[in-house]
């Protein structure tokens, strides 16, 4: 599945796993860097979902006050 098709929940769950692995330590530098890069991508996916949700809420509020 591509990152663009991940749900918020899927991205958040995978991000939590990445963070846990990084916190445990014991990975090589290269592995740690790859995990960090993956975490950054997943954080971006989550942020896009949250931004979209915020926009939908703001639009719904605006529509309600316009009536």
CATH number at residue 50: 1.10.287
Q: Is residue 67 very low, low, confident or very high in pLDDT (cuts 50, 70, 90)?
A: low
Q: At what angle do helices 29-66 and 8-24 cross, to 10 degrees?
A: 150
How sure is the predictor about 15, in pLDDT bands with cuts at 50, 70 and 90? very high
The confidence band for 65, taking pLDDT boundaries of 50, 70 and 90, is confident
pTM for the model: 0.86
- Start-to-end C-alpha separation, the chain: 41
pLDDT of residue 59: 94
Which letter does DSSP use for residue 64 in this model?
H
Whether 18 is in a domain gets the answer yes
Rounded distance between C-alpha atoms, residue 56 and residue 62, angstroms: 10
Rounded Cα–Cα distance for residues 22 and 24 (Å): 5
On whether residue 42 sits in a domain, the answer given is: yes
Residue 2 located in a structural domain: no
Q: Residue 34 is encoded by which pair of tokens?
A: 């790859």
The mean predicted confidence, pLDDT, of the chain is 95
What range defines the domain where residue 25 resides?
A: 7-66
């Amino acid at each position: 599945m591509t990152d663009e098709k991940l749900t918020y929940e899927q991205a958040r769950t995978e991000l939590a796993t990445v963070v846990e692995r990084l916190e445990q330590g014991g990975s090589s530098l290269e592995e740690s860097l790859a995990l960090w890069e993956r975490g950054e991508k997943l954080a971006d996916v989550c942020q896009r979902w949250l931004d979209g949700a915020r926009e939908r809420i703001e639009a719904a509020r605006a529509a309600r006050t316009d009536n």
